[in-house]
Chains A and B, each alone.
Chain A
Amino acid sequence: MSVPDGYEAVIGLEIHVQLSTRTKMFCGCALSFGDEPNVHTCPICLSHPGSLPVVNERAVRYALQIGLALGCEIAPWSIFHRKNYFYPDNPKGYQISQYDIPLATAGTLAGVRVHRVHLEEDAAKMIHVGESGRIHGSASSLVDFNRGGTPLVEIVTEPDLRDAGQAREWAQLLRTTVKQLGVSDVNMEEGSLRCDANVSIRPAGEKELGTKTELKNMNSFRFLERGIAAELERQRAVVEAGGEVAQETFHFDPRTGSLTPLRSKEYAHDYRYFPEPDLVPLAPTEEMLREAREALPELPDERRHRYENELGVPEVTARQLAFDAELGEYFERAVQAAADAGAADVPAAAIANWVTGELTARLRESGDGEAGPGSSKVSPDALARLVGMVEAKQVTTGAARKVLAALVEGGGDPAEIVEREGLGQMSDEGELEAIVERAIEAQPDAAERVRSGNPKAIGPIVGAVMRETKGRADGGDVTRLIHEKLGA
């Protein structure tokens, strides 16, 4: 996308996923969201002297599932390290994480290589409270340790992404994949899914990586795409001005949609990693691995194949449905409804088309775009029946669009709406002939031009017929009749 000619974008993602376990990574405090500050703490997650961590078994199981879902190799033996740095949200002065021997490595998802997947603990939350009027009138922050110690899985990709849109789509696929595993809420707004990006540009075809910058805090997929696009834009400008891109970290500001460089931390970082002596190695047993494999549901990539090969849905549509969990669910329920109604003649491909096309478009117009079809007034069953009516030529495509709009508005039964609005397709050939004749008489010169071999001239006549029939007539029948009448 916005890269100077002859340059290509090189993008890698670093994703943190909060696991939806019941307790924290290393202590028995319950996980929570939006509770009173510091009501879910204990000597361990507050790092009181003498306290020790003990690994949460479910967190390990969830991490194994993620590793397997991303096609990773699971390490037969992995250990935890201490990552040392001082910050109020890091109560031990080190974060327990995995370093040179992570739980899983060398995976791939939809063609993007996954470098590593490892377990670690989340930091606490800090709230900046501004001027406190105390110490030199300086501002202060409040630390809430409820979130501190939440199990995190960090997923790092290879720099295989080539533009902002692709990065967004891949991140959404990853979200769907993890959501389907049921191991996390993966909610970006609530921070249970966090996505950082490493962005650089380099001469196309060049193997060498350019200097990369780090983008943080893009708390929605739209912001992720915008942030990366903005940064590529910035790097392009730098390079075109003959400058050099500097190693920097940027913070994305959702309000302004702009990137601000993070104040380079007081001192250079030196994390002084070393093996965590309070924990013993993880060595997944055959049984642990079997359990994790058995827990894997159908994943988006597999879904796409099934939609294509078994349901005959075109590739692009199948991908769209499979990679958007909610859309996929809706589609499957509609197909099921059709089957239950014994409407075997309603092809899944047609339903897929209506779901990804017309329905999605109407919902976006009505503003429910983000909410998605699942929570709309249009029941999958209603949509299935509507598509069935189109297939059975009981309503024209145009009329069906009107019905769908009505469904989006107030829900209900498509058949009734067709009745009420009198949108049923005209079956009486005689009635239609009469209308066609009247339309021809009303526009003699258009009729003349058609007779003298100008097919385009038929437009106005068809239009008139359609207006008269309020779209209840089948376009094909109308043109056929006009040609017959004009002998052309």
Chain B
Amino acid sequence: MIDREQVLHVARLARLALSEEEIERMSGELPAILEHVERMNELDLEGVEPTSHVVALENVLRADEPRPSWDRDRVLGDAPDPSDGAFRVPSPQA
């Protein structure tokens, strides 16, 4: 079961700066949802294979042929902080 400490840890993993009020609410809501989810535990799943996909496909591959890339100004046009033909971000070392 998830407590306040875990809420904070998970928020850090997810890069969410939750407000105090949100942390409060999550600390209440998440356990409630997980409690419902944990009804799964009633089932005996011994030896049951996991399903991560319902499509029965294999080896869907693309030929190694170049397609024209996109106009740099166009893609930089979507960027919050374009600079010198690149995407600028606060330095990780900062």
Contacts and interface: CB of A to CB of B under 8 A. Distances in A.
A and B touch in the complex (CB under 8 A): yes
Nearest to A88: B89
Given A36-B85, A37-B85, A57 B67 contact: no
A138 B91 contact: yes
Contacts of A41: 69-70, 72, 75
Contacts of A274: 52
Nearest to A81: B52
Interface string A285-302: 100100000000000000
B15 interface: yes
A38 B64 contact: no
Nearest to B94: A138
A38 B91 contact: no
A272 B55 CA distance: 23
Given A41-B69, A270-B13, A283 B58 contact: yes
A29 B75 contact: no
Interface string B8-30: 00001101000000000000000
B84 interface: yes
Nearest to B73: A38
Contact of A282 (B58, B63, B72, B88): B58
A282 B60 CA distance: 8
A143 to B, nearest CB: 4
Interface in B38-94: 52-53, 55, 57-67, 69-70, 72, 75-76, 78, 83-94
Interface residues of A, number: 57
A56 B69 contact: no
B62 A28 contact: yes
B31 to A, nearest CB: 20
A310 to B, nearest CB: 37
Contacts of A46: 70, 75
A410 to B, nearest CB: 44
Contacts of A135: 90
A127 B63 CA distance: 32
Given A55-B60, A282-B58, A42 B66 contact: no
Contact of B88 (A23, A140, A270, A275): A140
Contacts of A77: 58
A442 B85 CA distance: 81
Contact of B84 (A142, A282, A288): A142
A280 B53 CA distance: 8
Nearest to B61: A57
A38 B85 contact: yes
Contacts of A22: 64-66
A275 B53 CA distance: 9
Given A23-B66, A267-B13, A128 B86 contact: no
A30 B66 contact: yes
B94 to A, nearest CB: 4
B61 A29 contact: no
A126 B83 CA distance: 13
A59 interface: yes
Interface in A51-97: 54-60, 77, 86-88
A288 B76 CA distance: 40
A65 to B, nearest CB: 14
A281 B58 contact: yes
Contacts of A56: 61-62, 64
A329 to B, nearest CB: 27
A43 B75 CA distance: 8
B66 A280 contact: no
Nearest to B92: A141
A267 B12 CA distance: 8
Given A21-B64, A22-B66, A280-B59, A142 B75 contact: no
A139 B94 contact: yes
B53 to A, nearest CB: 6
A40 interface: yes
A23 B64 contact: yes
Contact of B55 (A27, A57, A280): A280
A228 to B, nearest CB: 26
B87 A142 contact: yes
A40 B69 contact: yes
A30 B69 contact: yes
Contact of A54 (B57, B62, B83): B62
Contacts of A141: 88-92
A58 B64 contact: yes
Contacts of A277: 52-53
B53 A87 contact: no
A87 B87 CA distance: 13
A142 B83 contact: yes
A284 B59 CA distance: 8
Interface of A: 21-23, 27-30, 36-43, 46, 48, 54-60, 77, 86-88, 126-129, 132, 135, 138-145, 263, 267, 270, 272, 274-275, 277, 279-285, 288
Top 7 A-B residue pairs of the complex, sorted by shortest distance between their CB atoms: A28-B67, A58-B64, A142-B86, A57-B61, A139-B91, A275-B52, A30-B66
24 contacts: A23-B67, A29-B69, A37-B86, A38-B72, A38-B75, A38-B85, A46-B75, A55-B62, A57-B61, A58-B64, A128-B93, A129-B91, A138-B91, A138-B94, A140-B88, A140-B90, A141-B89, A142-B84, A142-B86, A142-B87, A142-B88, A143-B89, A274-B52, A282-B58
